Structure 1
Amino acid sequence: LVPAMEQAEDMGRWAFLPAVIGFWLGVLFLLVLDRTIPHLHQNSSQPEGPHTRLKRTTMLVLAVTLHNIPEGMAVGVVLAGWMAGNSGITAAGTLALSLGIALQNFPEGAIISMPLRGEGVGKGRAFLYGVLSGIVEPLAAILTMLAAGLILPALPYLLSFAAGAMIYVVVEELIPESSAGEHSNLGTLFFAAGFTVMLALDVALG
């Protein structure tokens, strides 16, 4: 969001508009997808069976895969801006973003693999599903970079679009999920720890 506003400085007092517009487009995009694809917990009352298990597994994989797309876009957009020599985006900042997203992909993969393993899926297959859910991320980044010529003029909007999508995922999915159960305090503590790590990386890497 900050680079988005910095790159729109020539708009003067209206420099916040691209960030606001892109942010809300990202939020609404994820909202529409969430409405289109039913949540896992909305189908928990159905009787167990092969079809129910398949549907539940499919929704779980699809949900995490879906959330990885804007993450890949975020990395691709920032890389495209850095490669184009954009003064608001540094190599260190790009590295910090890529590293932060890479780190949080580990628990995302586990979110898929561990429940699948618990339902009796083989270790190799459960691991493969976890890996496949993340493949869309580098693909989204590469496609975004290949379209850099079209993307760079819209960079402030795309940066804030990715930010809006990520904020939606965090507020709608990750925070409620981490606060559920008897160990909700741990979720809060690890959220603070992750925030601290990204803050330190952002400052240390410039």
Structure 2
Amino acid sequence: MSSILAGIMIPFIGTTAGAACVFFLKNSLKAWVQKAFLGFASGVMVAASVWSLLIPAMNMSEGMGRLAFVPAAAGFSLGIAFLLLLDEFIPHLHIDTQEPEGPKSSLKKSTMLVLAVTLHNIPEGMAVGVAFAGLMSENGTITMAGALALSIGIALQNFPEGAIISLPLKEAVGKGKAFAYGTLSGIVEPLGAALMLMLTDFLGPALPGFLAFAAGAMIYVVVEELIPESASGPHSNVATIGFALGFVAMMILDVALG
């Protein structure tokens, strides 16, 4: 159990380490570096959704024959719908934009920036939690190495994400608060993972659907936010290279360790 608890904390550690960049870097990341990191994060999340979540979901449903895709398709669609609702009802502001999204709010800009990243992290925490829940269910489809590969992959993309949210806030609120904001944006990951672990005994046959649900939520974040942010303006080719590197890195982690 201790190894599982450590596993769900790995993505949060990645976010915290990235947020700590405020103590070591004088300025915000250059535009092309941010785009490379956003592309990398997109690649990791897409690969994780396919290899670590959707494929295991369909493998678990093999007993349904030609309909083995149904739990994965249904869960994926619900994951998209879930993030769509969060996007509509939670006020948030993306990096390098001036117009907040969601309902009108009097929240500070810094708070809405953190909420935007928090929205990214909710499905990631759920994904890690569901993977370890699948491991605890002992159905044989998900291994400890596979669950750790997913956790490490998400931590890799969380590191630059933590830096991207904290560095722009440094001048406005100071290093300490900027670090705290960046760290808090990732706290939903272990919380979401822990919630999924608590539901392990109740998931049962629904586990494939939950795996696909997490995949759908992550793909929504990639398509709705990360890719548009990384592709806008100059240096979009850098983002494309980052995507390829992230995708390959996550694929290698999952296949080699899983």
State the TM-score, normalized to the length of structure 1.
Answer: 0.90
Match of 2:108 among 55, 75, 85: 55
Match of 1:28 among 78, 81, 86: 81
Q: Distance in 2 between matches of 1:45 and 1:190?
A: 27
Match of 1:171 in 2: 223
Superimposed CA distance per residue, residues 69-108 of structure 1 (whole angstroms, 9 cap, x where no aligned partner): 1111111111011122121111211111000011111122
Q: Distance in 2 between matches of 1:28 and 1:95?
A: 27
User: Larger deviation: 26-35 or 156-165?
Assistant: 26-35
Superimposed CA distance per residue, residues 95-154 of structure 1 (whole angstroms, 9 cap, x where no aligned partner): 110000111111221222012114x21001101100011111011111210121112331
Q: Which amino acid aligns with 2:112?
A: M
Match of 1:96 in 2: 149
Higher RCO structure (Cα 8 Å, ≥6 apart): 2
Q: CA RMSD in A?
A: 1.9
Match of 1:108 among 134, 156, 161: 161
Count of aligned residue pairs for this structure pair: 199
Q: Is the 8 A contact 2:125 2:188 kept in 1?
A: yes
Unpaired runs of at least 5, structure 1: none
Q: Which amino acid aligns with 1:34?
A: D
Mapped pair 1:7 → 2:60: yes
Q: Is the 8 A contact 1:22 1:161 kept in 2?
A: yes
Q: Distance in 1 between matches of 2:76 and 2:99?
A: 35
Mapped pair 1:126 → 2:181: no
Closer/same/farther in 2, CA of residues 128 and 39 from structure 1, 3 Å limit: closer
Match of 2:20 in 1: none
State percent identity of aligned pairs.
Answer: 67
Q: Distance in 2 between matches of 1:74 and 1:67?
A: 12
Q: Distance in 1 between matches of 2:212 and 2:224?
A: 18
Match of 1:186 among 238, 242, 258: 238
Match of 1:147 among 199, 203, 222: 199
Q: Which amino acid aligns with 1:149?
A: D
Q: Which amino acid aligns with 1:184?
A: S
Q: Look at both structures and tell me which one has the larger radius of gyration over its CA atoms.
A: 1
Q: Which amino acid aligns with 1:158?
A: F
Q: Distance in 1 between matches of 2:219 and 2:148?
A: 20
Query: 1:30: how far off?
Result: 0.7
Q: Distance in 2 between matches of 1:82 and 1:148?
A: 9
Q: Distance in 2 between matches of 1:38 and 1:74?
A: 23
Structure 1 segments of 4 or more deviating over 6 A? none
Q: Distance in 2 between matches of 1:97 and 1:45?
A: 33
State the TM-score, normalized to the length of structure 2.
Answer: 0.72
Match of 2:22 in 1: none
Q: Distance in 2 between matches of 1:21 and 1:166?
A: 15
